[in-house]
Amino acid sequence: MLEDRILIVEKVYLSDLDPNNLKNARLGVLGGSGLYEMDGLENIQEVQITTPFGEPSDKLRLGNLEGMEVVFLARHGRHHNFAPTQIPYQANIWALRSLGVRWILSPSAVGSLQEQVRPLDMVIPDQFIDRTHQRPLTFFSDGVVAHVTMADPFCNTLSRLIADEGEVLMPEGRQLHRGGTYLAMEGPAFSTRAESNLYRSWGCKVIGMTNHTEARLAREAEIAYASLAMVTDYDCWHEGHEAVNVEMVLDNLKTNAQLATKIVQATIKKVAALKPTSPAHNALRNGLMTPKENVPNMTRSKVDIFTRNYWGEFDQKSP
């Protein structure tokens, strides 16, 4: 059994990896609904990390795939214990960064808001509209302020790589769509018809519950982030199709998960070869507003993993 081959590690922190050196950086995969493990991952270790922002959704699985060290985390937990609002987003991103992750691929289930984007299609979104209201959206609070640019919330280079690989692997009759706006809703209930039609009138392409929060935190953590949005349904706006329900979503999730795994594996191979740089990798360079000497020690220690490249490593014992 797989579990018999997994080494359980209580606490492993590798945050002292050179933040400017992508040669040894790792790639993270945040598996969404229907994708609770990463096929093909070899030499697996399970890593339990306690972060300054609490416990991550699950143990992180560290292994090798396509010539690269990959860290996999099921965002809802491997048994789907966390509703979208309850996912420990800060802990998840902090934990990935502590293991040297500098790229994240994020497969996730979405509903379509446009006729041409059909169930079982894939979308590589390039923009967000945020309609959540109960999420932590920053690591920088409690005495420290940082402003990062979010004009282009997804990494263009990473998105292009996953789109290129996806187009090659899409089966006949299914389409991969490049670009489009992802409407982030709170959940866990699906939309009302009025909401769905409102978002359509805004020109949104897909609707989901998780990626926006991850993308904002990943940018602060200086991690390049790209999404593979797996379309399961037409939300509830389409008069020619039944309203979205859990059975429909689960059936299409199973179909999408196999294809998504292949696309992610192919993209990892490209990232391993290219180690692409991203504007996200130095997002904090001009974003740290509070002078470091004015940041409370407790806060400084929590964000040190992100700021040490600019402020130097924080020593709690220093005066």
pLDDT in tens, 149-192: 999 999 999 999 999 999 999 999 999 999 999 999 999 999 99
Which tokens hold the place of 83?
């509703």
Decide if pLDDT at 298 tops 60: yes
pTM of the model: 0.91
Residue 147 belongs to a domain: yes
Confidence band for 255, pLDDT divided at 50, 70 and 90: confident
Residue 259 belongs to a domain: yes
User: Is 235 a catalytic site residue?
Assistant: yes
Residue 318 belongs to a domain: no
Residue 7 belongs to a domain: no
Tell me which of 192 and 33 has the higher pLDDT: 192
Residue 9 belongs to a domain: no
Quote the number of domains for the chain: 1
Q: Tokens 């006729």 sit at which residue?
A: 115
Tell me which of 44 and 244 has the higher pLDDT: 44
Q: What is the CATH number of the domain that holds 302?
A: 3.40.50.1580
- Domain encompassing residue 126: 26-311
Q: Give the model's pLDDT for residue 300.
A: 96
Residue 290 belongs to a domain: yes
Q: Give the model's pLDDT for residue 37.
A: 81
Please state the rounded mean pLDDT for residues 129-146. Answer: 96
Q: Give the model's pLDDT for residue 133.
A: 93
Q: Which of 58, 130, 233, 304 is catalytic?
A: 233
Q: Which of 164, 235, 251, 315 is catalytic?
A: 235
User: Is 4 a catalytic site residue?
Assistant: no
Long-range pairs for 245-254 at CB < 8 Å and ≥24 separation?
A: 249/33, 249/109, 250/34, 252/119, 252/120, 253/33, 253/34, 253/109, 254/34
Residue 3 belongs to a domain: no
Report the DSSP pairing between strands 224-233 and 101-112. Answer: parallel
Cα(258)–Cα(39) distance, integer angstroms: 9
Q: Give the model's pLDDT for residue 2.
A: 38
Lowest model confidence (mean pLDDT) among 53-57, 250-254, 295-299:
250-254
Residue 319 belongs to a domain: no
